[in-house]
A and B are shown apart, each in its own frame.
Chain A
């Protein structure tokens, strides 16, 4: 089968070149190093950055690596840094960028580069395995019921397309890589907030969020919110509410006294919550298979 990405330059019939020339500086390289390479391509109307990158791939640089899928801002594959700002390539219009200088497109900085614009985002999947799962109580005879207001609350968090732009921009791991070992990052605070606000869920992840997910590392400087293409108010609606919940369980002496006096249960320990993660379940399954 012929690979048509290496086909010679031919503008699609529907778009028009307007005579201007675009200068694009794309990062080329792999784990061992690399450099910006400048490409010149004619401007066409109505294009997004991903179109131009594809055009370069189709003409001058057939070996250029770039990850993409939907071209509609929905799959979260095409995350990169355009003129130094973390964005989706398929949702960034060329007309919104200044063209006097070359436009730089570089891979996400917080993750190891595999090749060119493609990074290895597996850190995020490792964190995902450590999120204590949704754990509803026993099913009542009439089935689970949720009121509309309770359903709506989590809707914002479920818009996440896992582009990991927020993880990439978060300085806790972007600039201090060693924190990856004990920090979940904004995308997973969104997930944890959704679970902690779920009316049917029965776990208490507050100790876990502090001790294991490292919420204290976030200094609420809001860059995650600034870059989120789904416009999730990550800091205001997920992280700060989680921080406040952690205050309830850990830093508020009056809340502590109240629990003692009213003999309310202590917050669930982090190790208890850890039993409900995907990783724990996988380990359990593995142990069982070994036995049998």
Chain B
């Protein structure tokens, strides 16, 4: 699928943008702080109802304004999809093909995207929280049922934790919330397991192509070995939970283990290895979305070129060949070597204004 048109109004420093990228490689050039990342952020927001930089929509509104709107039109193999996001005086509204939507789970996956920026190395060297957020976003995008289960799980977990904060919580009440927590928690664990299994095969392949002589291995590292044991585990942990006043076991403690050449990449990986692993993860995700959605997602690369040496950059564009639409931002002027002489469309971003060149 490819983005044919993106319009934003009063989104961050972008007062009025009408962006009509081509199906292949699109390079958005500009100095620092001109609005390049904001453009990608707007596209990401309209597709996922989330920004990668903030949880607060207020921050996305142009300073001194009341709201923003974003419209994205994408061409899928068999149809055109239009997504709209409007934020006005603290209320957000989404539309798909002009029809208002009430559930985020209905919006996700209409236009599939993969976003890659230098901060994504945090997936390898950062905390488990970052890896869980990655899992949650990516699985939701290909499997709306997952998001429903996840939202339920989070809400019930909040209720249970709040109950645990009470002085001597009522055991029957705990039973009742446990009974709610188990089915949604089990779904979350099973879907994560399936996703990481599929991702891991793709990531190992991708890493082998980038760094031929080492092996990357991904595995789901759940808090509970067996999802079916969730009810029993909660029961066993109840005394501890009451003492610590929080739920100590469950998928909110999950992680992904990432191993390069037999060693945990988070601790022992060199910077180069960690960057390559982050790239491999993203490439794997692209293939996985293709497997599940039947089409390639749209890839956004925010300032990644500066981070990649010519070898890795060439590899990246080679493996995407001509099948994936890429929206690439960069401050670098000289790109010929990195993109291997491929044709591309070039845009210039200056103080929130975009110009095709």
Q: Do A and B come from one complex?
A: no
